[in-house]
Amino acid sequence: MNWLLKDVRIPDVQGDKRRDLFFYNGQLMGDEAAWPKGAHRILQGHDLHLFPGFTDVHVHLREPGFSYKETIASGTRAAARGGFTTVCAMPNLNPVPDSSEHVQQQLDMIKQTSVIRVLPYGVITVGEKGQVLSDMEAMAPHVAGFSDDGKGVQRRDMMVQAMERACRLNKIIAAHCEDETLLNGGWIHDGAWAQAHGHIGIPSESEWRQVERDLALAAQTGCKYHVCHVSTKESVALIRDAKARGVDVTCETAPHYLLMNDSMLNDHGRFKMNPPIRAKEDQDALIEGLLDGTIDMIATDHAPHSAQEKAGGLRHSLNGVVGLETAFATLYTGLVKPGILPMARLLNAMITRPNQRFGIISQDDWTVFDLGASYTVAGRDFVSKGQATPFEGMQVYGQCLLTIAGGHVAYANNAAKEQA
């Protein structure tokens, strides 16, 4: 099906000018005189914008091994509904992708059921157990990088070996930074809210101490180092300083850390993730880091679970919330519309920087949003199998109408009208 976009804006290309655009067999056509005749669908809205497809370097698609939580099919459909055309899939799976055979099993499933581009990670250590390095050489041609996400690599010597090997392979180490000796058995941020409500808190030091260690090791080894889901002000300061010293480091944070702080919590599983939502001063530091370029990119850490697994409140629910379908709308509503973050900076963090860092070549990847369309976030409406979102009930602006991935329609909102 072909598409006519009426009165659409392309940020940073057309400025404030609007024009009609035509997609023919997934290809964006230029001169109106060259538009083919025939049946097409018309997209109109209050404030249409055409963006390059978004990239999320940190998602959990749960397959193989945990398809009751999510599948590659449902997860990538959810991604397309959120405007994403490329995602990097984390490796806490069964079997764990610690060999070329296990990675190939995942790649075969991606080829069969994904509606967008999916780049898997391989693990750093066998079984994500932190004791023996995985077969990184065999996996390197097929993975976005290496990560033991969900667990920090506790042994310094193991991380040194991993970084040295990744450096030889010219691959990224994407680190979940968490010193398990500093967790204190907690389950939310160790702040005023936890103390007031009788919860055991996780101190910020459990994150930033391992960031500090790894930055020193990255400087020593020359490894391409990427810090996952940064949540603390201390981590931001450490990464800012490391960049100034020339360390090859990038980092990401997630929408919930930018838009929320622990004063907004209630005792519901949809507010539980790891790392936890931190204090207001951490939130402010993350926004400052995004503005000054210390934080390179935004990634959702989309981590679906079953309803039962998220029904245990803050203490007993599993860690993880979903975010692919709400990322752009929540960030646009919470940061861009109030004038806190320029649109160009948001697009840089969701498109340009992740593609640059991970060597992703985007071709015929587009998404169309109506920035004037508002709706209320409701997990029951998600395409994802997971429904636990900390943004439940939030009124947002920015509805995805169309996503084209690799020249193929990956998602289309039913607002389009048929035209002969």
Instruction: Name the region of 389 (left: φ>0; alpha: ψ -120 to 50; beta: rest).
Output: beta
Q: Considering only CA atoms, which of 59, 53, 52 is closest in space to residue 120? A: 59
Q: What residues contact residue 124 under an 8 Å CB cut-off, 6+ apart?
A: 133, 134, 136, 146, 147, 148, 153, 158, 159, 162, 173
DSSP conformation class of 263: G
Strands of the sheet containing 297-298, edge to edge, are: 172-175, 224-227, 249-253, 297-298
**Active-site residue, selected from the candidate residues 301, 364, 365, 370:** 301
What one-letter code names the amino acid at 104?
Q
Q: Count Cβ atoms below 10 Å from residue 329 Cβ, excluding itself.
A: 26
* Residue with the two structure tokens 């067999």: 25
Whole-angstrom distance, CA of residue 380 vs CA of residue 42? 28
What's the length of the chain?
Answer: 420
Specify whether the CB–CB gap between 403 and 85 falls below 8 A: yes
What is the number of alpha carbons within 13 Å of residue 136 lying toward its C-beta? 24
Q: Count Cβ atoms below 10 Å from residue 229 Cβ, excluding itself.
A: 23
Q: Is the preceding omega at residue 276 within 30 degrees of 0, hence cis? A: no
301 included as an active-site residue: yes
Residue 296 token pair: 């390179």
What one-letter code names the amino acid at 15?
G
Whole-angstrom distance, CA of residue 402 vs CA of residue 292? 31
Return phi, psi of residue 70, to 5°: -170, 155
Residue 271 to residues 279, 317, 382, 409: CA-CA distances in angstroms?
Answer: 14, 9, 17, 33
In order, the DSSP letters of 300-316 are --B----TGGG-SHHHH
Whole-angstrom distance, CA of residue 135 vs CA of residue 292? 37
What one-letter code names the amino acid at 152?
G
- CB neighbour class for 288 (10 Å; exposed up to 12, middle 13-18, buried from 19): middle
Whole-angstrom distance, CA of residue 172 vs CA of residue 184? 30
Active-site residues, by number, are 301
